[in-house]
Structure 1
Amino acid sequence: MTGSPPRPEAGLDSLADRDPRVPPEQLVAELVPPPRFADVRFSTYVPAPEHPSQAEAVAGMSAFGEGVVRGDSARKGLFRRRSAPSGPPGIYLDGGFGVGKTHLLSSLYHQVVTEGGRTAAYGTFVEYTNLVGALGFLPAVEALAPHHLVCIDEFELDDPGDTVLMSRLMRELVDRGVKLAATSNTLPGALGEGRFAAQDFQREIQALAGQFAVQRVDGEDYRHRGSPAAPEPLSDETVRRVATGREGATFDPFARVLAHLAEVHPSRYGAMVGTTSAVCLQGVGTVSDQMVGLRLVVLADRLYDRAIPVVASGVPFDAVFTEELLGGGYRKKYLRAVSRLSALARDGAALAG
C-alpha cells in the first residue's frame, strides 16, 4: 500500500481520528478483565469431553485460586512479607488459540477477587510493559506488589528488552509474595524462539519459566466449531450503510486504520476503540509487513476483548496476512488474530443482515 490513505466520508466517526491519552493512574485502575470476560466463571467454561486437559485446566486453575485466597490468611501485618509458597509461585496455561485460556484466566481473577475478597491485577503482556514505561520500573513494582495475584494474558517475548524487563519485574513481584498466572501459545522455556537471538537470553527465559507450573490446554478453536473460518466480505455500500445507520459505529478505509496504528502505542488501542458499537472497514487488504501485521494483531485482540463487531469489505480475514507472515516466528499470533477477526466479522455480517 502506497500513498496517503483516503479519509472517510464527512459526518462519519473515524477510528483513525482517535488518539487517546491514558493517564498512568488510569492504566493501573484498568488492570481488570476486559468486558467480554467480565462475567465468566469456571462454572461457565464447558470442557470438551474429547480433550481431558480442558477439565484438568479448570481443576488446576481453581485449585491455584483457592491457594491464593488461603495463602494470604496467615498474613499478620501490612508490611510483613507473605510466607513463601511450596512449589512454583505461578501457573501458566499453554495451548493453542481458541481453547478458552483467557476465559480461564479471567475466571481465576474473579475467583480471587469477587469470591475470595482478595486483590488482583489483570492485563495483557503489552499492558504490563507499557505500565513500566509509563510509571518507571520501581513505581510499577510498587503499584502491583500489593496485589495477591497478577494475571498476564497473551504472554510472549517479542524482543530482548521485553525479556529482561519481564524477568526482572516478575522476580520482584514473586520476592514480595505475589502469585502469578499467565496464558500463552508457547511453552515458557521456548519463549522468543524464531523472533530474536533467544539463545543469548536463556538465563532470563529460564528464570521466567522457573516461576511457573505449566498447565496444558488442548482442543479446537471454539470460535469456529462447525463454522467456516471467515465469512464472505460485504460490499462497500453495505459497510457504509451499517456505519451510517448504527449509532456509535466508526467508518474507515482499512489502509488508513493501519497507518494510524503506527502513530498510537499498542497499549492505547483499547482506549481508542473505547465504546465503539461496530468497526466498519472498507477495502480490507492483505498485510505483508511484519510490524503492520503485529499492530493489527493487537487491535484484533482489543476489539475481541470488547466484543465489537467488524463490518468489512475487501478480502476475507483468513487472507489478511501473507503466507510468509503465517509461516514465520509470529505464526501463532497471526492465527489467533485471524480467528478473532473472523468471529467478529460474522457478528458484523449479522448486523448487516
Structure 2
Amino acid sequence: MDASPAAGGPLPAYRAMLAEGTLQPDAAQARAAEMLHDLWRRTRGYDPHPEEPEQGGFFGRFLRRKPVAPEEAPAGTPMGLYLVGEVGRGKSMLMDLFFATAEVARKQRIHFHEFMQHRVHARIHAWKRKHGNTADPIPPLADSIAEEAALLCFDEFQVHDIADAMILGRLFQALFARGTVVVATSNTAPDDLFKGRPGRDAFLPFIALIKRRLEVLVLDAARDYRRERILDMPTWHMPADARAEAAMDRAFRELTGQDHGSPMQLTLLGRAISVPQAVDGVARFDFDALCGQPLGPADYLAVATHFHTLLLDGIPRLGAENFDKAKRFITLVDALYEHRVKLVASAAASPDRIYERGENAAMFARTASRLHEMQSRDWRGRPHLT
C-alpha cells in the first residue's frame, strides 16, 4: 500500500508541499485544500455505474433516446466544487492534487476549451452529419461523456462563445442527472460568466444550475505565484538566435512547469485559430504563425482574452517590404496591451529599432512605446483582463 502523503488525499499532499518548502503558507489555499479533501472523502470509490454502451458507440446511444432528466442528480451524488480566483492563485495546482489522489476509477482532467471543442462540438457535428438536425444529440452525448468519466475536472472554465453558451445548460443538466461530479477552476465567478454578451438571458439557467450543484469557493490568495515568476523574468531576448530560443524555452518551462505545451484551437465565428502550444493560460507562437496569417482584430482579441501570457518567437525587422505583417503585429500588441497580457518575446532588435525606416515608421512608434512599457516590472504586476 502507498504510504506517501498523496495516498491520503489532497490535504496531506498539500501539507507535505508546505513542509518541503515547495509552497508557502497561505490561508486561502489551505481552506481550498480542506474543501477538496472533504470532496475527496465523499468521492472515494464513487461510481454511478452508467449503462454499458450499446453497439454503434456514440451514434448507437441514440437508440436508447434517454431524455435529459428533469432532476439535477441522483440521490447520493456528491456536490462538486467551483474554484474561482485571479490568475496565479494556485487553483490549478490544488485541483491537480485532488485529481491525482481521487479514488474514482473513471476520472478525467481536461482544459475546458479542449473539452468543448473535442468532446462536445466535434461529437455534435458528427452526430448532425449522420442524423441531420431533427435528432437531439444532447442525451447520447451526455451518455458518452458520463460513461467515460464519473469525475470531470475542468481547468480554466470560461465561456466566450455563444455556441458554447447555448449548449452548456442542457448538457450539464444531463451530466448531473447521470451522476457526474464536476470540479472546475476559473478566473470568473459564476454570476459573471458570459456577462455583457448577447443572448446571456438564455444562459442564466446554467449559472443557477452551477450554483446549485457546485460549491463555489473564492480563492483570494495573498500572493499571485505565477505573476511573481514573471516579475523579474527577462521578457525581451535579442537577437532571435539560438541563445534567445533557449531563453524562451526556459521561460516557458518556468511559467508552465512543462517543456512543451499542447496544440489547441480557438474558435471564433466559425473560424479556428491554431495555437501551437498552450498550457494553463500560457501560449507560445512563432511570429509568422500569428502575424503572417490573415488574422484580424477579433482574432487577436480572442488570443488576448483567452491567454494571460504569450510567448512570441522570432519577431523580425519590419518595414515596407513586410508591412502586412507589421500591421498585424501592431494590432496584436494593441490587443495584448489593452488586456494586460504578459509578453515574452525573441526579436531581431529592441522595440524601437524593429521598424526604423519608411513612411509607416511613425505609425509603429506607439507600438514600440507599448512594448517597452510591457517589459516594466510595474506593468507585468497588473492583473490580466478577460
Q: Give TM-score scaled by structure 2 length.
A: 0.54
Does 1:69 find its partner at 2:44? yes
Give the drift of 1:246: 11
Does 1:97 find its partner at 2:87? yes
Q: Give unpaired runs (5+ residues) of structure 2.
A: 1-12, 53-72, 125-137, 250-265, 318-330, 348-386
Change (3 A) 1:344 1:207: farther
Give the drift of 1:145: 0.4
Q: Corresponding residue for 2:228?
A: 225
> Structure 2 residue aligned with 1:84, among 45, 50, 75?
75
> Structure 2 residue aligned with 1:293, among 265, 284, 301?
301
Q: Using the alignment, how far apart are the partners of 1:186 and 1:232 within structure 2? A: 27
- Work out which of the two has the higher radius of gyration on C-alpha atoms and give 1 or 2: 2
Change (3 A) 1:159 1:281: closer
- In the alignment, residue 134 of structure 1 is paired with which amino acid? A
Q: Using the alignment, how far apart are the partners of 1:221 and 1:298 within structure 2? A: 18
Q: Using the alignment, how far apart are the partners of 1:282 and 1:218 within structure 2? A: 36
- In the alignment, residue 122 of structure 1 is paired with which amino acid? R
Give the drift of 1:232: 3.9
> Structure 1 residue aligned with 2:165, among 163, 166, 170?
163
Q: Once the two structures are superposed, what CA deviation does each residue of 1:33-52 show, in whole Å capped at 9, x if it has no partner?
A: xxxxxxxx644476643x41
Do 2:315 and 2:346's aligned partners in 1 also have CA atoms closer than 8 Å? no
Q: Corresponding residue for 2:34?
A: 59
SS of the counterpart of 2:82?
Answer: strand
Give the drift of 1:83: 5.3
- In the alignment, residue 289 of structure 1 is paired with which amino acid? P
Do 2:111 and 2:156's aligned partners in 1 also have CA atoms closer than 8 Å? yes
Q: Using the alignment, how far apart are the partners of 2:140 and 2:190 within structure 1? A: 26
Do 2:85 and 2:220's aligned partners in 1 also have CA atoms closer than 8 Å? yes
Which structure is higher in RCO with an 8 Å CA cutoff and minimum separation 6?
1
> Hey, which bits of structure 1, 4+ residues long, moved more than 6 A?
244-247, 260-264
Change (3 A) 1:199 1:109: same
Give the drift of 1:165: 1.1
Change (3 A) 1:246 1:175: closer
> Structure 2 residue aligned with 1:118, among 90, 105, 110?
105
Aligned residues: 260
Give the drift of 1:180: 0.5
Give the drift of 1:181: 0.5
- In the alignment, residue 75 of structure 2 is paired with which amino acid? A
Q: Give TM-score scaled by structure 1 length.
A: 0.58
RMSD: 4.6
SS of the counterpart of 1:183?
Answer: strand
Q: Using the alignment, how far apart are the partners of 2:89 and 2:105 within structure 1? A: 27
Do 1:92 and 1:215's aligned partners in 2 also have CA atoms closer than 8 Å? yes
Q: Using the alignment, how far apart are the partners of 1:230 and 1:246 within structure 2? A: 11
Give the drift of 1:169: 1.5
Change (3 A) 1:343 1:203: farther
Give the drift of 1:167: 1.7
Does 1:135 find its partner at 2:119? no
Q: Using the alignment, how far apart are the partners of 1:110 and 1:296 within structure 2? A: 31
Q: Corresponding residue for 2:5?
A: none
Q: Using the alignment, how far apart are the partners of 2:191 and 2:28 within structure 1? A: 20
Change (3 A) 1:244 1:66: closer
Give the drift of 1:177: 0.8
- In the alignment, residue 120 of structure 1 is paired with which amino acid? K
Change (3 A) 1:209 1:343: farther
Q: Corresponding residue for 1:31?
A: none
Q: Using the alignment, how far apart are the partners of 1:227 and 1:325 within structure 2? A: 16
- In the alignment, residue 85 of structure 1 is paired with which amino acid? G
Do 1:290 and 1:325's aligned partners in 2 also have CA atoms closer than 8 Å? no
Q: Corresponding residue for 1:106?
A: 96
Change (3 A) 1:207 1:293: same
Q: Give unpaired runs (5+ residues) of structure 1.
A: 1-40, 248-259, 304-308, 327-333, 346-353
- In the alignment, residue 187 of structure 1 is paired with which amino acid? A
Do 1:281 and 1:311's aligned partners in 2 also have CA atoms closer than 8 Å? yes
Does 1:148 find its partner at 2:150? yes
Give the drift of 1:94: 0.7
- In the alignment, residue 207 of structure 1 is paired with which amino acid? L
Do 2:190 and 2:210's aligned partners in 1 also have CA atoms closer than 8 Å? yes
Give the drift of 1:57: 0.4
Q: Using the alignment, how far apart are the partners of 2:267 and 2:74 within structure 1? A: 44
Change (3 A) 1:224 1:99: same
Change (3 A) 1:167 1:246: closer
Change (3 A) 1:230 1:200: farther
Do 1:288 and 1:325's aligned partners in 2 also have CA atoms closer than 8 Å? no
Q: Once the two structures are superposed, what CA deviation does each residue of 1:232-291 show, in whole Å capped at 9, x if it has no partner?
A: 4122x33466559999xxxxxxxxxxxx9989846x64xx449xxx96745999x99243
Q: Once the two structures are superposed, what CA deviation does each residue of 1:122-157 show, in whole Å capped at 9, x if it has no partner?
A: 212211211211112445323320222011111112
Q: Using the alignment, how far apart are the partners of 2:164 and 2:346 within structure 1? A: 30
- In the alignment, residue 143 of structure 1 is paired with which amino acid? S
